[in-house]
Amino acid sequence: MSDILLQIDGREVGAREGMTILEAAQSVGISIPTLCHHEKLEPYGACRICTVEVEVNGWTKLVVSCVHPVEENIIVRTRSEKVDRISKTIIELLMAHAPDSPQLQDLAQEYGADKDRFEKDASFCIHCGLCVRYCAEVVKKNAIGFVGRGINKEISFIPEIAAKECDDCKECFPLCPTSYLQAAFVLTKALFSPPPSSEPVQDE
Ligand code: SF4
Ligand code: FES
């Protein structure tokens, strides 16, 4: 049974206490773009691409829908001039890091984003954290983590764990919105693989 009634894109939506706006929208088939959200993971709120406009008593504000809880009688707009403007800028910023990401390219088309607006800094990882959190929260192996801070932050496989666990798992690979995760794994694997034997082959 629904505890809370709200309006999303002009539709009356019933939601349960504690649901996020994103969950309420998805429950009735209203789509909000996401990059760092996964239904099996704790909300993270990192990428901001799920930003929506909320109106309460005539006042509007922008909120991050994957972490913002539903409230009685709020009016939610998943598309508005403000939402589209901020979404476009977020996509343009992320495309400076990962211009070839198919997900970002689709979003760029949807929101009219210019992939060349910001100077390229092709680090390829957009720090969505899906790989790190999925490995920790779902697979419970912690084979991958973030290292560094700020602009130097990057994901890194833990070679000792990855060598044992990742070849038979790779569940996080399809979650990555860019090509970075697979590239990082190939690099790590090269580092933890023993070099080919240089022993001379004995004649029989
Ligand atoms: S490697 Fe991919 S999944 Fe992992 S944090 Fe970076 S963009 Fe996200
Ligand atoms: S999907 Fe909500 S902040 Fe990333």
Ligand number nearest CA of 38 is 2
Tell me how far the alpha carbon of residue 170 lies from the centroid of ligand 1, in angstroms: 13
Ligand number nearest CA of 23 is 2
Q: Coil, strand, or helix at residue 62?
A: strand
pTM of the predicted model as reported, rounded to 2 decimal places: 0.90
Q: Are 171 and 139 in contact (CB under 8 A)?
A: yes
Q: Whose CA is nearest to atom 3 of ligand 2?
A: 45
Residues of the chain with pLDDT under 70: 1, 194-204
**Can you give the pLDDT at residue 195?**
63
Assess whether the C-beta atom of 36 lies below 6 angstroms from ligand 1. Answer: no
Cα–Cα dist 67/87, whole Å? 17
Q: Are 3 and 70 in contact (CB under 8 A)?
A: no
**Can you give the pLDDT at residue 150?**
79
Q: Is the dihedral of CA 9, 14, 18, 22 positive or negative?
A: negative
**Can you give the pLDDT at residue 122?**
79
Assess whether the C-beta atom of 36 lies below 6 angstroms from ligand 2. Answer: yes
Alpha carbon 44 to chain centroid, angstroms: 9
Tell me how far the alpha carbon of residue 183 lies from the centroid of ligand 2, in angstroms: 24
**Can you give the pLDDT at residue 149?**
85
Tell me how far the alpha carbon of residue 49 lies from the centroid of ligand 1, in angstroms: 15
Ligand number nearest CA of 133 is 1
